[in-house]
Structure 1
């Protein structure tokens, strides 16, 4: 199976980076894996529309062509990111805005969107300091938003969301258990 990991976290010594490493080690045992590290690549999340760059032509943008090719190559996408201020990092939001464009990820049939990335599956792996109860009562869950409003609209219906809440209150055993779970789940991914 071809697996593409889309990773958005700038600290190479943080817990989220350790999650990336565990998932990568688990997936590469039986699959071909590529990683898009948005911070390492200095991905520019800023959308620009002008005379040369028009929204209707985003699916042809040369700057993001390599990312569209990688998404088309992949059978399975894995998004790994922290929840900050109730949302995904701006760099990931910009990636989605620029890459998951009309004409590439979806089109309209009449007034209804039709996903163009069918036959793919995805995982969303998020971490956050907020407790789970706080998230449910007061915040939108950006893992769920990514799943329902981006991936499902793009035709990707098989999506699992793994979330680790209350990061600042977890002990070493709880953190290690989540890492082990991610490694084990990743090891099960295969064609």
Structure 2
């Protein structure tokens, strides 16, 4: 099985990076093929150009399209910042999930073009699940990313996992989370 990992965190010492490493270990255990697209390491430019709005995509975006075509599963790893996707991830979506490639309209109806692809999403957050649930942010996060982006493009979201209160979590909890990730990924 082919896996595209879209990873976004600027610090190699972050828990997000530990999630990336656990994901890779889980994939290797089963002999899966994978490609990591580390958006910060790539210095991915998140701003859509005026030519891209008109449908003109460059070599950089064509390459990302090829990775998406190749992948059976797309694994997203990023923190929740300001109750949403970091700008670099949103920019990746804006620039790579283009009209005619990821979705289009047929007779006025939206059609996801990435049907058959599956997604696994790992997010870290500073707040607890209870804090987000109390204000409805837990549902909003799922609605905006899973429904509004991935399902809109035809991608089946297998699981969306939120790791809560990460800054205040202890080593034992983080180790258990990483074991959970490794097991989850190796079962894909």
Q: Indicate the TM-score class for this superposition, using the shorter chain for normalisation.
A: over 0.9
Alignment of 1:125-164 (within 5 A): 125-138=122-135, 139=137, 141-164=140-163
Instruction: Report the equivalent of 1:25.
Output: 25
Farther off after superposition, 78-87 or 167-176: 167-176
Instruction: Report the equivalent of 1:48.
Output: 49
Please list the CA deviations of residues 48-76 of structure 1 after superposition, one character each: whole Å capped at 9, or x if unmatched. Answer: 21xxx152415x43331110100000000
Q: What TM-score comes out, normalization by structure 1 length? A: 0.91
Whole-Å separation in 2 of the counterparts to 1:179 and 1:74: 23
TM-aligned CA distance change 1:92 to 1:54, over 3 Å: closer
Q: What TM-score comes out, normalization by structure 2 length? A: 0.92
Where 1:126 maps in the other structure, the secondary structure is strand
Runs of 5+ unmatched residues, structure 1: none
Instruction: Report the equivalent of 2:104.
Output: 107
Runs of 4+ in structure 1 displaced over 6 angstroms? none
More helix by share: 2
2:58 corresponds, among 58, 61, 66, to 61
Contact 1:147 1:159 (C-alpha < 8 Å) held by counterparts: no
Please provide the CA RMSD for this pair. Answer: 1.5
Instruction: Report the equivalent of 1:10.
Output: 10
Runs of 5+ unmatched residues, structure 2: none
Where 1:96 maps in the other structure, the secondary structure is helix
Contact 1:56 1:102 (C-alpha < 8 Å) held by counterparts: no
Whole-Å separation in 2 of the counterparts to 1:158 and 1:142: 13
Give yes or no for the alignment of 1:185 onto 2:184: yes
Whole-Å separation in 2 of the counterparts to 1:133 and 1:61: 43
